[in-house]
Chains A and B, each alone.
Chain A
Amino acid sequence: MAKRIDISGLTAYYGSHKAIEDISMTVEPRSVTAFIGPSGCGKSTFLRTLNRMHEVTPGGRVEGKVLLDDENLYGAQVDPVAVRRTVGMVFQRPNPFPTMSIFDNVAAGLRLNGSFKKSQLPDIVEKSLRGANLWNEVKDRLHKPGSGLSGGQQQRLCIARAIAVEPQVLLMDEPCSALDPISTLAIEDLIGQLKERFTIVIVTHNMQQAARVSDRTAFFNLSAVGQPGRLIEIDETERIFANPSVQATEDYISGRFG
């Protein structure tokens, strides 16, 4: 249930504006890879190219290769809808479907796939909610609307919804930036558990968070406003924070800019 991602020569555009340029890296399976860097460096854009969400934005297009094990997500025969069923995503702001109950939110992705027996649904929903450390809090109100939960619970509901379809990879775009410290801690604990089953990529503005949750860290930067973002370096998280090989990384981590 976890695959390696090999990215080579990836460039992404918004219309004529080049947002990120020539990024190559490998994301290891069953580990957490964190993307850090100043605002506008393209780390979220890069994340969204990994499940082909970038091209949903008007004008968005991508050049380069993203190999999931050996399959190119940008191959001519590949259906972006199928990619998104394999590579799940959690967003910055919790976004449960407001018109659905907690149960239906978790079941939403499964109902799209349709490859399950109806009688299995309650079991899968329970398993996913347990997997997101949310079951005990919501088991008595599964048929109440998901929008009635707290922000942190809503975000864990979104994680349950994403893992219910058993994706190969889980992308998280600043999943804690709208949450209080306690809810953030709950999500970080959860990420630690989820990495045993999934390949996880997380974008974060919070360097302590990257240091706490990730095994490897990638630092992105841009040379000037309006210039495309680039990958500066990617390494073991401990090395990035203790002894990075590029000066710009050290400057950013020690708070000298960004």
Chain B
Amino acid sequence: MASTTPVDAPPPPSPPTQPLDAKSGSTGRAGDKIFLGLSRGSGILLLVIMASIAAFLAYRASVAISQDEGNFLTTFDWNPAGNPPVFGIAVLLFGTIVSSLIAMVIAVPVAVGIALFISHYAPRRLAAPIAYVVDLLAAVPSIIYGIWGALFLVPYLEGLNLWLDEFFGWTYLFEKTEIGVARSLFTVGILLAIMILPIVTSVSREVFLQVPKINEEAALALGATRWEVIRMAVLPFGRSGVISASMLGLGRALGETMAVATVLSPSFVISLHLLNPGGGTFAQNIAAKFDEANELGRDALIASGLVLFILTLLVNGAARLIIARRKEYSGANA
């Protein structure tokens, strides 16, 4: 902080026992070097790991795709052990995106609501326990969610499904054309929504708590009600944080394996009748087939994993673009 020293101040007395030669403070410098090495090494290691995963996936995937007699992108079938081997990811891509979208549509508004309640509405005595319970939801293993989904959610959702079919069947999405229990993409979406709720909530809550007090007071002093303060000062400030939180949740929803595999009754059909049983996701399909697959089968599953990897990268890239586009309004430069 040399700049704060007045020009005419006397020079600070130098400590007599510390000569200014190169060796003094050498322990500090060794520490610096070690830390620099460690942090740089970790950074490089991360890149190496990412690159080797990508290379591994790409290599095994290329082996599989070259032997695929069907079209890898458009085939509605998964039979790498057949003669000729035929498999494609169309159904998996559709099921993964649709179930994750359902999860997002349900979870994000609820999570933002809970986060706002904890950060701006609840009295402090109530806010901390609620925040704790929400965080606790994240600690439940996904297989437990899967079992709960299969034993509780599936039977109890049948009533909701009938109701949706009756009153919203005209939307096509909620028309149930097949008989069967609710082992559908819709049920999976609801389950995934519950599973991603804690992460979206806690990240959003942290962002909302960081809204500068002076911005909220500015809105209050203009005569804003509590909700108007949230609309004028809190939500715009937290927007990019909520997007990041949603992307974290989406990442989990896209890759969720055990819960989906336990609830869904898989089939290789694409249907926008969300209530019909059937469909599949990348992770669920890999989990279900990996053990019994032959070598080509495993490579084929790895190829589908590569597509999931790319999908996740695309989603993250899109989120960054959305955040960057409004960067000058982000509040970071306030």
Contact = CB atoms under 8 A, between A and B. Distances in A.
Contacts of B333: 98, 145, 147-148
Contact of A112 (B228, B236, B239, B328): B228
A40 interface: no
B220 A84 contact: yes
Contacts, number: 84
Interface stretch (A63-71, A89-97, A238-246): A89-97
B113 to A, nearest CB: 20
Interface string A156-168: 0010011001000
Contacts of B334: 96, 98, 147
Interface in A157-211: 158, 161-162, 165
Given A97-B232, A99-B239, A158 B223 contact: no
A179 B155 CA distance: 66
Contact of A95 (B214, B228, B236): B214
Nearest to A85: B223
B225 interface: yes
Contact of B328 (A83, A148, A161): A148
Contacts of A161: 218, 222
Contacts of B221: 51, 53, 84, 88-89, 91, 162
Interface string B78-111: 0000000000000000000000000000000000
Among the interface residues B220, B236, B331, B333, which one has the most CB atoms of the partner chain A within 10 A?
B220
Contacts of A56: 217, 220
Interface string A132-156: 0000000000001101100000000
B232 A145 contact: no
Given A145-B328, A147-B334, A97 B224 contact: no
A78 interface: no
A100 B329 contact: yes
B218 A158 contact: yes
B237 A109 contact: no
B228 to A, nearest CB: 6
Contacts of A81: 223-225
A84 B222 contact: yes
A96 B219 CA distance: 10
A158 to B, nearest CB: 7
A95 B333 CA distance: 12
A113 interface: yes
B330 interface: yes
Contact of A97 (B223, B225, B236, B330): B236
Interface string B224-263: 1100100011001101000000000000000000000000
B52 interface: no
B214 A99 contact: no
A82 interface: yes
A108 interface: yes
A93 to B, nearest CB: 6
Given A88-B221, A95-B218, A99-B236, 9 more contacts: A53-B221, A56-B220, A81-B224, A84-B222, A91-B218, A95-B212, A98-B329, A147-B331, A162-B222
Of all A-B residue pairs in the complex, the 4 with the closest CB atoms, nearest first, are: A85-B223, A99-B236, A98-B334, A98-B331
9 contacts: A53-B221, A56-B220, A84-B223, A89-B221, A91-B214, A91-B221, A97-B233, A161-B218, A162-B222
